[in-house]
């Protein structure tokens, strides 16, 4: 049904910055404080109160700009965006309009290994509004703690074509913000908010269709669903001979559909004009270069390095780099291994992706709260790699290590879990098993090959699980040939 059309999608992402104080006053930005506690005459918009620019707002905006390959404007200015709302006591929001601080960048995304570049039109600095609380069984309440909190708005080019692309782009933006340490990236708590502009046009057409804005998409899943819904809806309207109305909609996750909030105000309704109480923002070259020099390695680069340096599959690398602390933990574990082999590197990844992530999911905790140091995990992988214990025994030891400072080899010797790899001792067990099962030996020799597993199993059982399976297999193979 969507054939013959293509969607044109641009995303606007608001990111709440991790500055300690607000954008233009000294009020703290702590989340979850009592309502209307973190306020002062400046962020309450009292007449005559003058804003003072927070240097870290500029620093973080420039940091994000450099990380997304934007050009950085040497001189930019703040403007007033005028509108009336109960949670906006000044009657305007300080934002940037013409000449934003960052412009003309790009973000690289990957979907199933296929790369694509999404252009960044601009990144500008602004302050947040307060919060209206409607969902109580009383009149609407207003909390102004958020009023004046520092934000950047990241506006993409209309380069996105599908819901999954939008989701991948948003994830890349989120990961970059978190890697840079400038936003906690929490969509559910609203420290990142996403609006999507969506239109459709006949494939190959040059003109854009009429766009619809869908506001406040608060999860990657909702971004994808809302866009896919809106694409199908718009095509259906056009196919039925209708026209698309420019409007602002909301995603109703319960009903899985978009619903109209209002028909779109045009940008000039905000009556932007330069903010007279703030001077121009000047970014000098030396300061810019010091920020550039302090940029960390970002997610996609780290992913590619993990694939190259540790011979990891792209799938593993992606999961590890999604969490910057987990990626660091992975590298610390690999560095602690006594045998630095691709096998051991993959084994570390396996442990993290199964047991470690399971604990983090169950306890909803971070890697540093799991209670297993990189050296401890490395000691467990070492014990398996050296043949001292089997993977099965390692699985039993793993929970014993968690929450302690003990190493795997201590547990192995304390509990007598060392794997038996001595050929002489294992040969005795192999001989005994064959002697005790003459009928099955005869059947095997007459062609019942699948009995091989039975013989090996009998030896492992007789050893109480301590026999090294690969040594047993080799010995058994040789014994049955005779």
Taking CB under 5 A as the criterion, which residues in 367-386 touch Zn ion?
A: none
Instruction: Tell the smallest beta-carbon distance from residue 38 to Zn ion (Å).
Output: 7
Task: State in angstroms the smallest separation of the CB of 230 from Zn ion.
Answer: 38
Report in angstroms how near the CB of residue 127 gets to Zn ion at its nearest: 10
Q: Are strands 141-143 and 192-202 parallel, antiparallel or unpaired?
A: unpaired
Are the CB atoms for 81 and 59 separated by under 8 Å?
Answer: no
Least distance from Zn ion to the Cβ atom of residue 39, Å: 6
Helix (H) or strand (E) holding 235: helix 220-239
- Least distance CB 150 / Zn ion (angstroms): 12
For position 61 contacting Zn ion by CB under 5 A, the verdict is no
Structure tokens at 119: 């252009």
Closer CB to Zn ion, residue 56 or residue 248? 56
CB of 136 to Zn ion, least distance (A): 25
Place of tokens 């467990």: 380
Residue count of the chain: 482
Report d(CA 45, CA 47) in Å as an integer.
Answer: 6
Q: Which of 150, 389 has the CB closer to Zn ion?
A: 150
DSSP structural state of residue 100 = -
- Residue 122: which residues within 8 A CB-CB, separation 6 or more? 100, 102, 103, 104, 154, 155
Nearer to Zn ion, 25 or 62 (CB): 25
8 A C-beta contact, residue 433 and residue 455: yes
Q: Smaller CB distance to Zn ion: residue 144 or 389?
A: 144
Candidate segments 35-43, 128-136, 162-170, 327-335, binder of Zn ion by CB under 5 A: 35-43
Residues in 14-33 that interact with Zn ion by CB under 5 A = 25, 27
Taking the least distance from each CB to Zn ion, the nearer of 39 and 183 is 39
- Report d(CA 9, CA 3) in Å as an integer: 17
Q: Is the Cβ of residue 127 or residue 165 nearer to Zn ion in the bound state?
A: 127
Applying the rule CB under 5 A, the residues between 255 and 274 that interact with Zn ion are: none
Q: How far is the CB of 139 from Zn ion (least distance, A)?
A: 25
Could you tell me how many residues of this chain bind Zn ion (CB under 5 A)? 5
Residue 143: CB minimum distance to Zn ion, A: 13
Residue 398 CB coordination number (10 Å): 20
Nearer to Zn ion, 52 or 365 (CB): 52
Query: In angstroms, rounded to a whole number, what is the distance separating the alpha carbons of residues 447 and 314?
Result: 42
- 432: which residues sit within 8 A by CB, 6+ positions away? 462
At closest approach, how far in Å is the CB of 21 from Zn ion?
8
CB of 273 to Zn ion, least distance (A): 23
- 469-475: long-range contacts (C-beta < 8 A, 24 or more apart)? 469/390, 471/421, 471/423, 471/426, 472/426, 472/429, 472/430, 475/423, 475/426, 475/427, 475/430
Distance spanning both ends of the chain, measured CA to CA: 68
Give residue for tokens 């009995």.
451
DSSP codes, 4-57 = TEEEEEEEEEEEE---SB-SSS--B--TTPPTT-S--TTTTT-TT------HHH
CA distance 273 to 80: 6
CB of 81 to Zn ion, least distance (A): 19
Nearest CB to Zn ion, comparing residues 43 and 155? 43
16 pairs with which residues across the strands?
A: 151
Quick check: 352 and 329 in contact, CB under 8 A? yes
> By CB under 5 A, what part of segment 36-55 binds Zn ion?
40, 42-43
Based on the shown chain and the rule CB under 5 A, indicate whether residue 429 belongs to the binding site for Zn ion.
no
Going by the DSSP 8-state scheme, the letter that residue 160 receives in this structure is: B
Helix (H, G, I), strand (E, B) or coil at 381: helix
Is residue 94 near Zn ion by the rule CB under 5 A?
Answer: no
Which token pair is 43?
């962020």
Shorter beta-carbon distance to Zn ion: residue 43 or 283: 43
Residue closer to Zn ion by CB (options 37, 428) is: 37
If the CB atoms of residues 73 and 90 are measured against Zn ion, the closer one turns out to be: 90
Positions in the binding site for Zn ion (CB under 5 A): 25, 27, 40, 42-43
């Amino acid at each position: 049904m969507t054939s013959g059309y293509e969607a044109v999608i641009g995303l606007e992402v608001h990111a709440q910055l991790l500055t300690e104080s607000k954008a233009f006053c000294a009020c703290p930005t702590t989340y979850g404080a009592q309502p209307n506690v973190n306020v002062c005459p400046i962020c309450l918009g009292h007449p005559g109160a003058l804003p003072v620019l927070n240097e870290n707002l500029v620093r973080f905006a420039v940091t994000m700009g450099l990380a997304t390959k934007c050009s950085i404007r040497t001189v930019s200015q703040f403007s007033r965006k005028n509108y009336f709302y109960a949670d906006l006591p000044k009657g305007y929001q300080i934002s940037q309009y013409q000449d934003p601080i960052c412009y003309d960048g790009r973000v690289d995304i990957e979907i199933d290994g296929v790369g694509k570049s999404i252009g960044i039109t601009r990144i500008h600095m602004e302050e947040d509004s307060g919060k209206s609380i409607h969902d109580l069984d009383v009149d609407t309440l207003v909390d102004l703690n958020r009023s004046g909190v520092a934000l950047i708005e990241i506006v993409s080019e209309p380069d996105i074509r599908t819901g999954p692309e939008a989701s991948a782009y948003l994830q890349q933006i989120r990961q970059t913000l978190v890697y840079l340490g400038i936003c906690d990236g929490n969509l559910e708590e609203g420290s990142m908010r996403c609006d999507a502009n969506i239109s459709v046009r006949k494939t190959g057409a040059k003109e854009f269709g009429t766009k619809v804005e869908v506001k406040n998409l608060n999860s990657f899943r909702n971004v994808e669903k809302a866009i896919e819904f809106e694409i199908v809806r718009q095509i259906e309207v056009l196919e039925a001979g209708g026209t698309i109305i420019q409007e602002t909609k909301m995603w109703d996750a319960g009903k899985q559909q978009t619903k109209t909030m209002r028909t779109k105000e045009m940008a000039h309704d905000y009556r932007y004009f330069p903010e007279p109480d703030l001077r121009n923002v000047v970014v000098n070259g030396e300061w810019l270069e010091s920020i550039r020099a302090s940029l960390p390695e970002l997610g996609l680069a780290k992913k590619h390095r993990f694939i190259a340096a540790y011979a990891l599959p792209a799938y593993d690398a992606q999961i590890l780099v999604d969490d910057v602390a987990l990626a660091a933990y992975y590298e610390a574990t690999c560095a602690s291994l006594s045998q630095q082999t691709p096998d051991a590197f993959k084994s570390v990844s396996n442990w993290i992706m199964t047991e470690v992530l399971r604990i983090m999911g169950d306890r909803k905790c971070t890697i540093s709260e799991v209670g297993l140091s990189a050296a401890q995990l490395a000691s467990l992988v070492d014990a398996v790699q050296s043949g001292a214990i089997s993977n099965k025994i390692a699985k039993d030891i793993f929970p014993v290590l968690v929450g302690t400072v003990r190493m795997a080899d201590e547990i192995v010797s304390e509990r007598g879990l060392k794997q038996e790899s001595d050929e002489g001792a294992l040969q005795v067990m192999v001989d005994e098993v064959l002697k005790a099962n003459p009928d099955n030996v005869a059947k095997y020799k007459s062609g019942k090959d699948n009995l091989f597993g039975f013989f090996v199993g009998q030896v492992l059982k007789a050893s109480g699980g301590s026999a090294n399976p690969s040594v047993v297999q080799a010995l058994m193979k040789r014994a049955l040939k005779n």
